[in-house]
Amino acid sequence: MIEVLNVSHKQITVIKNLELFINLRKLNLMDNNIVRIQGLENCKLLEELSLEKNKIKTIENIIHLKYLKKLDLGQNRISRI
């Protein structure tokens, strides 16, 4: 049962293949090439999500993350909140 996953600095462009990580509580995707927040539908227990230093333009697809306490989106391309 994996609760913490660190995939920072991996040149990831799309968040995917997380369907089996239903117990994930902390996910670090820092310093990648991600342009959209997506692929987190099954990570309902997520408490911390680090997406800083990516290429995200819009805050989206996080409404289902009911337990999310920390969301880091620093150094992205977000133009509106």
How many structural domains is the chain composed of? 1
> How far apart are the C-alpha atoms of 54 and 2, rounded to whole Å?
24
Please tell me the distance from the alpha carbon of residue 67 to that of residue 78, in angstroms, as a whole number: 23
Tens digit of each residue's pLDDT (9 = 90 or more) over 20-79: 999 999 999 999 999 999 999 999 999 999 999 999 999 999 999 999 999 999 999 998
The parent domain of residue 78 ranges over 1-81
CATH code of residue 23: 3.80.10.10
How far apart CA 11 and CA 34 sit, in angstroms, is 8
Looking at residue 28, its pLDDT comes to 98
The per-residue pLDDT for range 3-17, each reduced to its tens digit, is 999 999 999 999 999
* Predicted pLDDT at 80: 73
